[in-house]
Structure 1
Amino acid sequence: MSVTHELYTGRFWADPYPAYTELRRAAPVHRIEQAGTTVWLLSRYADVRAALADPRLSKDARYTLPPGQRAAAARSSVEMMVLMDPPDHTRLRRLVSRVFTARRMEALRPRVRQLSHELVEALPPAGRVDILREYAFLLPVFVICELLGVPAADRDDFAAWSNVVVDESTPAAAREGMGKLQAYLSELIEAKRKQPDDGLISALISDSDDDKLTHPELVAMSVMLLIAGHETTVNLIGNGLLALLTHPDQLAVLRENPDLMPAAVEEFLRWDSPVHSLSTFYTTEDVEYSGVTIPGGSVVRLSLAAANRDPERFPDAEQLRFDRAEPGHVAFSHGLHYCLGAQLARVEGQEAIRTLITARPGMALAVPPVELSYRRSHVVRGLKELPVTFHP
């Protein structure tokens, strides 16, 4: 079925939601051709949530090959947990879950609050500021570096490599950035073996279980934790601030009722998801969603952003509301690949937004919303900059 709205081009990057509305209505399982590959895009909440728990959807790209060629084909050289199936995924998640706990993430709240205040105090009292670069970008960098045990002197390089890795417009630079990131973390892990600290990398190294992470697994896990713990949280904070600045009524509600901040962050996650769609899945056999059969060996993309605006799940889905009774957004995925860092992202989002809107009541957008520019990524949904003005 034809879709009149543009996908992954033109106006889509600024506002993808009209296209998603049409997809959910007319073509919820939509076949598109992208870079010579057929991709099946799922957009309805029920389909996306079901697919996230469907064992027939794999992370192993070898399922796109004829059966006789799969065993001989090489696996991906980057063995990140998010690119694995059970039992490999199960083993790695079990090992990292023991140190990356919700309690440990919640215990970081006072430090996150302190860093938020320090960054706000460093902002100019008046004038124009790119709040994304000077605040939303910096806080997650500082937090994830402290959490992993990355020296403060290396934070800028660390953040720059992470940023370029997820930039799909520069694949060569992304590969180079990944190489630098892996080399740096490999050396850091060896240094932590000799001089452990209280960081997460040392905790992963020193886990007492007999089944420890290998060195390549430690490198891949550290890369994943960095990118997931930094990139997505930057976009949560940036998208959330933009939502408030373009909905002054909801900003006023939040300032008058600061206890609504946890609910507000959940709504930011739903309304403009920082992870737009999940990385590719592959069908191990024929599967059916919304009456459409996707052949085995196909490439499938799950649109979390489209699912989170599905009115069949969320009444008045296009509205930004902090009083929603319907839980269950899929901004952190669902099932096997549910985000390990969900609690940390929530803590950072709550503290960052609370601190800024409290300290700077005169903050306003410096440009009309239509002039804002977004990163062109199939995975993340984030602004390139967020210029605001402060008024004393």
Structure 2
Amino acid sequence: MSTPPDPIDLFGTEYTRDPYPLYAELRERGPVHRVRFPSGVRAWLVTGYEAAHQALTDTRLGKDHARGNAAWRARASIMPEPQHSQLQVHLLHQDPPRHTALRRLITDAFAPQRVEGLRPRFQAMADALLDGLPDAGEADLVEVFAGRFPFRVLAHVIGLPGEFEERFDRDWGKVVQPVGPSDPGRPAYEARLRGLQRYIADLVVHKRGERGEDLLSRLVAARDDGRIGQEELDSMIFQLLVAGQEPVTNQISTALVTLLRHPDHLAALAGRPELLPRAVEELLRYDSAFELTTWRFFAEDADLHGTRIPAGDSVIVSLCAANRDARQFPDADTLHFDRTPNPHLAFGHGTHFCPGAALARIELQIALGTLLRRLPGLRPAVPDDELRWIPAVLARGVDRLPVTYGAPATCPVADGPDAAC
């Protein structure tokens, strides 16, 4: 058997800030590459649109962590026991038929017709978050808006009680960011896990005592009548709370960074809000918050686009690399709001296509439309190279986005005292 190639590092400041040059290089080399993540785990990365599309529907590739081999398990199970067993058996890590049964429990809550009917309520939430801001000034859009709006929407959609909405600590969302066993941040990471577990346990007790028609109540009822186990219940609530809102926060921030880097597009969108639906699709394609998929595994040694993959090795699909493939998207590195068709893979594809895609699209349309309407003259408040991209392995976004808005400052120049500086 030939020796696997040396892995390519998928981490570091430059990669985190802009992974697209590396993805372009990898696409030119071929569809499958050996890579290494910050934890030290090695995986096979799929790049290119056609290869990604096929991998996402390849029935040989399963998501169940039990498929992972010893080499993967030694480094990739970053979440320690007992939390790994208790919080990692949600939809993202299940295969049919179990995946089908669990997904059926949540689809009604995120059905396109239902969430579209909630658009006015979501709009009111977005406006309320900006009501306290002055007419002009500076703000961190993650702190004042992107870090709050998706969770308020999610709380309403799943039936999270008000006291639990107030109690939720957004810092718990960092449990999906890699912290290896020897990392100095490990104690804080494990404290987040324990805090989130206590929160979930208290939430289940509350919902068991005050049943309603909401999604959380239905999940607790499914546990009580034996349709799902306790670990599945806790894991699905974990997935809803973390995966249901943090990626939308990241996508809002990523889309805003793109618009701030393209002021002509920002101005066009501010002046023509009817462009929002198509613009959101292009922003999702251009830079997606879901950069990479979660792990997949072959049950036995298999060929993947000409590369032999050992059983139990992890396979990751690069959604961002696929969405910049010029063979599928002409002029792929350029932002085009009029791009059509636009079959991007930002929400995945196949069995594991994001069940909350319709909700996320509405949130992005409302978020961008509201910010551009309420904060005219939006522009960066810090240089681009000062933006700090989150260190999450599978996701893209910035943890702060300082902006200035309102009329630009004026200064006396030859053309008159009211000319812009």
Specify the code of the residue in structure 2 equivalent to 1:56. Answer: R
- Secondary structure, counterpart of 2:329 in structure 1: coil
Cα deviations across residues 81-130 of structure 1 (Å, max 9, x unaligned)?
Answer: 21111121111112222343222222221111001111121223222211
Moved more, 188-197 or 351-360: 188-197
Structure-to-structure mapping, 1:321-340, within 5 angstroms: 321-340=336-355
Distance in structure 2 (CA, Å) of the matches to 1:2 and 1:55: 26
Distance in structure 2 (CA, Å) of the matches to 1:97 and 1:185: 21
Distance in structure 2 (CA, Å) of the matches to 1:260 and 1:161: 34
| Per-residue deviation, 1:295 | 2.5
Does residue 247 of structure 2 align to residue 232 of structure 1?
A: yes
Distance in structure 1 (CA, Å) of the matches to 2:109 and 2:397: 29
Does residue 273 of structure 2 align to residue 263 of structure 1?
A: no
Q: Structure 1 residues 210, 157: closer, same or farther in 2, change over 3 A?
A: closer
| Per-residue deviation, 1:161 | 4.4
Structure-to-structure mapping, 1:56-71, within 5 angstroms: 56-65=60-69
| Per-residue deviation, 1:253 | 2.0
Q: Match for residue 26 of structure 2?
A: 23
Distance in structure 1 (CA, Å) of the matches to 2:187 and 2:255: 31
- Secondary structure, counterpart of 1:282 in structure 2: strand
Q: Match for residue 76 of structure 2?
A: none
**Kept in 1: contact 2:389–2:397 (CA 8 A):** yes
Report how many residues are paired.
Answer: 385
**Kept in 1: contact 2:10–2:36 (CA 8 A):** no
| Per-residue deviation, 1:41 | 0.9
Distance in structure 2 (CA, Å) of the matches to 1:192 and 1:62: 31
Specify the code of the residue in structure 2 equivalent to 1:368. Answer: P
Within the candidate set 353, 363, 366, 2:368 is matched to 353
**Kept in 2: contact 1:373–1:384 (CA 8 A):** yes
Cα deviations across residues 139-183 of structure 1 (Å, max 9, x unaligned)?
Answer: 012111222333334335424243221222445433432332232
Within the candidate set 218, 221, 224, 2:236 is matched to 221
- Secondary structure, counterpart of 1:238 in structure 2: helix
**Kept in 1: contact 2:223–2:233 (CA 8 A):** no
**Kept in 2: contact 1:365–1:387 (CA 8 A):** yes
Cα deviations across residues 237-275 of structure 1 (Å, max 9, x unaligned)?
Answer: 111111111111111221232111011111111111011
Specify the code of the residue in structure 2 equivalent to 1:313. Answer: Q
Specify the code of the residue in structure 1 equivalent to 2:161. Answer: P
Q: Match for residue 161 of structure 2?
A: 151
**Kept in 1: contact 2:8–2:35 (CA 8 A):** no
Does residue 133 of structure 2 align to residue 133 of structure 1?
A: no
Cα deviations across residues 48-87 of structure 1 (Å, max 9, x unaligned)?
Answer: 1111111111112333448xxxxxxx99443112111112
Q: Structure 2: which 5+ residue stretches go unaligned?
A: 71-81, 180-184, 408-421
Q: Match for residue 371 of structure 1?
A: 386
Cα deviations across residues 191-222 of structure 1 (Å, max 9, x unaligned)?
Answer: 22221235321233457997633443222111
**Kept in 1: contact 2:171–2:192 (CA 8 A):** yes
**Kept in 1: contact 2:7–2:35 (CA 8 A):** no
Distance in structure 1 (CA, Å) of the matches to 2:270 and 2:62: 44
**Kept in 2: contact 1:271–1:309 (CA 8 A):** yes
Q: Structure 1 residues 371, 85: closer, same or farther in 2, change over 3 A?
A: same
Specify the code of the residue in structure 1 equivalent to 2:33. Answer: H
Distance in structure 2 (CA, Å) of the matches to 1:250 and 1:5: 34
Q: Match for residue 70 of structure 1?
A: none
| Per-residue deviation, 1:225 | 1.2
Identity among equivalent pairs (%): 39
Moved more, 289-298 or 54-63: 289-298
Q: Structure 1 residues 361, 36: closer, same or farther in 2, change over 3 A?
A: closer
Within the candidate set 88, 91, 98, 2:101 is matched to 91
Within the candidate set 393, 398, 405, 1:383 is matched to 398
Distance in structure 2 (CA, Å) of the matches to 1:348 and 1:365: 22
Q: Match for residue 173 of structure 2?
A: 163
Distance in structure 2 (CA, Å) of the matches to 1:185 and 1:286: 39
Specify the code of the residue in structure 2 equivalent to 1:141. Answer: F
Structure 2 length-normalised TM: 0.84
Q: Structure 1 residues 379, 87: closer, same or farther in 2, change over 3 A?
A: same
Q: Which has the larger radius of gyration?
A: 2
Q: Match for residue 178 of structure 1?
A: 193
Distance in structure 2 (CA, Å) of the matches to 1:62 and 1:212: 21
| Per-residue deviation, 1:315 | 0.8
Q: Match for residue 116 of structure 2?
A: 106
Q: Structure 1: which 5+ residue stretches go unaligned?
A: 67-73
Within the candidate set 59, 63, 73, 1:55 is matched to 59
Specify the code of the residue in structure 1 equivalent to 2:271. Answer: E
Specify the code of the residue in structure 2 equivalent to 1:150. Answer: L
Structure 1 length-normalised TM: 0.90
Specify the code of the residue in structure 2 equivalent to 1:60. Answer: D
Within the candidate set 289, 300, 309, 1:285 is matched to 300
Moved more, 200-209 or 382-391: 200-209
Moved more, 139-148 or 160-169: 160-169
